Amino acid sequence: MKQKFWKNFWHLFRGYWNSEEKWKARGLLAFVIGLNFASVYLLVRLNSWYNVFYNALQQYQAESFWPLIGEFTGLAFLYIILAVYAIYLRQMLQIKWRTWMTNRYLDDWMKGQVYYRLQVLRSDTDNPDQRISEDINQFVSLTLQLLIGMLKQITTLGAFGVVLWNLSGAFTVPIGGHEFVIYGYMFWFSLLYSVLGTIGVHFVGRKLIGLNFDQQRYEADFRFNMMRVRENSESIAFYRGEQPESVGFAERFAKVIKNYWQLMRRTKLLNFYVNGYGQLAIIVPLVMAAPQYFAGVMTLGGLMQTSSAFGRVQDALSYFVSVYDTIAQLAAVIRRLSGFTRHMEGASDIEDEVKRETASGDALVVRDFDVKLPDGRVLLADCNLTIKEGERLLITGASGCGKSTLLRTLAGIWPYGQGRIEIPEKSRILFLPQRPYLPLGSLRRALYYPLSASGPEENLKEVLRKVGLADFIPRLDDIDDWSRILSLGEQQRLAFARVLLVKPDWVFLDEATSALDEPREQEMYELMRKELPHTGIISVGHRSTLFAQHEEELHLAGNGSWQCRPVTA
């Protein structure tokens, strides 16, 4: 388990530090570490100041009081400057690292339709948006916090360990008539105290890792359920589905609260332990050094310096105790991010066996085409088609026979297919799904999607008039959620406006007129035939009225067999 944790951590960690930004990143990290080392040096100076200051107080040296206060002020001021900029530059490094990781994950998620394939594969990756937006931020923040903190504490241990060893001197223990001398006994006691504390905190807090992981998952599921209601508010309202949705909210929120109670109880035990451990560490060095102080071997300044040095050494050795909760959070984040990474890599590794070739001529040719389901069941076998410019083909068949899956395979987003597609050089192909996607932003941007450039203003207005959306011309530059404003029928007409703007050589329509009445459906098809006479049209649909708009029918049986025949009047 530990080996897997470190392997996953290294896989996530190494990318940025070996990237094209590695030298800037390493330089900034080195500077941050240098600031922390300098702050440790100032702490050692302050520790020595304790000795001088308290000895001056013990001996009533009034003339030394204000100079020592001035020295403390200077050291404290420098320490504050170093501490502030150490945090500021660490946060700068965090921003740069997070930006790099986020861009890389977004690229991997979008490349090759991995975002879609994750749904097709039905992987157990929940809420990939949260993995990218929140978990990457947490991974970077917690890693830097722990890494720099650990290096600082190691430096503190080395510096103050020497100080504590020298201050504690020798301690004689009489046992059975023999005397044993322990040199640097305060250091050894601090080491023993910290080791026992670390073992104890791991025993008390180890369950926090799993609880933190589950808490993030339950919170994300609860949030996603509310988002689903917002996206499908009209359908839920029509169904009067408030009651079952409320039950769903209650079930998911109950998991959040139940797990949080367990997290609270375990955190309470950990806090009892950590706070008790910390408070005990305040009095322990005084008790241990008291015999030497009362024997006159140690001055008041030496006692205070010893107490301070013991505290620093104990803090360094007990670093694991104080950050155990942070380590538990990091472990949960690594587990989620590593799982997400593996699932993306698995989705990306599935090869599309359909060969797409550029060919001469004016026809889109499909040869020896097979379409399957992930479980291996064949939907279409050995299909051969030739669709020339301007021809119109209707794909029919019973529900579930693979009509839409065939279009997905032709589009290259369904990886479970074989065969070859020959596409004329420089030809453009456009696919229209049943529910058009409308990006956030202006209506103009939604019309030209997925293109980023816009054409002449008058041409855009004319296209809107032709598809019956002239009422929206004054709102072309309004920024809103257009998928909420437009009805499904209006969205489908907007998709036909896209066809007129893009002017593809072939357009594939997956039940793209399902929300239109039959006269409007006929109007849209006749509009495409009139405006784009050389565009090949391939449609998937159930309506009998679609036969009148097509010349050939490809009928799928769903068991691999198919039949292509002319449409008869």
- Cα separations in angstroms, 318 against 59, 146, 304, 324, 413: 35, 13, 21, 10, 53
pLDDT digits (tens, 9 = 90+) for 494-533: 999 999 988 899 999 998 898 899 999 999 999 999 999 9
Last residue of a domain, one of 320, 349, 378: 349
Last residue of a domain, one of 317, 333, 349: 349
Q: Of 502, 515, 516, 509, nearest to 550 (Cα)?
A: 509
Whether residues 330 and 384 share a domain: the answer is no
Q: What are the structure tokens assigned to 66, written together?
A: 């204000």
25 within 8 A of 17, measured Cβ to Cβ? yes
Last residue of a domain, one of 291, 315, 349: 349
Low-confidence ranges of the chain (pLDDT < 50): none
- Cα separations in angstroms, 545 against 48, 409, 511, 562: 93, 26, 12, 21
37 within 8 A of 155, measured Cβ to Cβ? yes
Whether residues 262 and 244 share a domain: the answer is yes
Whether residues 325 and 387 share a domain: the answer is no
Whether residues 359 and 345 share a domain: the answer is no
Whether residues 385 and 326 share a domain: the answer is no
- The residue written with tokens 């479970």 in the block is 416
Whether residues 331 and 476 share a domain: the answer is no
pLDDT at 169: 63
Strands 536-540, 392-397: pairing kind: parallel
**How many other C-beta atoms can be found within 10 angstroms of the C-beta atom of residue 323?**
19
CA 194/CA 238 separation, integer angstroms: 63
Domain containing residue 366: CATH number: 3.40.50.300
DSSP class of residue 560 equals B
Q: What are the structure tokens assigned to 356, written together?
A: 């797409």
Whether residues 357 and 314 share a domain: the answer is no
CA 241/CA 229 separation, integer angstroms: 10
Q: Where are the alpha helices (DSSP H) in 397-442?
A: 403-411
pLDDT digits (tens, 9 = 90+) for 380-439: 999 998 888 889 999 998 888 888 888 888 888 888 888 999 888 888 889 888 888 888
pLDDT digits (tens, 9 = 90+) for 303-319: 777 777 777 777 776 67
pLDDT at 344: 86
Helix 457-466 to helix 488-502 angle (10° resolution) is: 130
The phi, psi pair for 420, rounded to 5°, reads -140, 140
pLDDT at 1: 55
pLDDT at 25: 92
DSSP string, 102-127: HHHHHHHHHGGGHHHHHHHTT-S---
Whether residues 296 and 434 share a domain: the answer is no
Counting residues of the chain whose pLDDT is more than 70, the rounded percentage is: 91
Q: What are the structure tokens assigned to 255, written together?
A: 């998991």
Helix 136-168 to helix 62-110 angle (10° resolution) is: 150
Whether residues 183 and 272 share a domain: the answer is yes
Q: Where are the alpha helices (DSSP H) in 503-555?
A: 518-531
Q: Can you give the residue range of the structural domain that contains 520?
A: 353-566
Burial status of residue 96 (CB atoms within 10 A of its CB: 0-12, 13-18, 19 or more): middle
Whether residues 381 and 341 share a domain: the answer is no
**How many other C-beta atoms can be found within 10 angstroms of the C-beta atom of residue 374?**
12
DSSP class of residue 548 equals G
CA 104/CA 541 separation, integer angstroms: 39
CA 350/CA 368 separation, integer angstroms: 20
Residue type, 182: I
CA 319/CA 157 separation, integer angstroms: 10
Domain containing residue 242: CATH number: 1.20.1560.10
Please list, in sequence order, all residues whose beta carbon lies within 8 angstroms of the beta carbon of residue 36, skipping any fewer than 6 positions away.
Answer: 82, 86, 148, 151, 152, 155
Whether residues 310 and 362 share a domain: the answer is no
Q: Of 533, 538, 507, 544, nearest to 394 (Cα)?
A: 538
Total domains in the fold of the chain: 2
Whether residues 339 and 369 share a domain: the answer is no
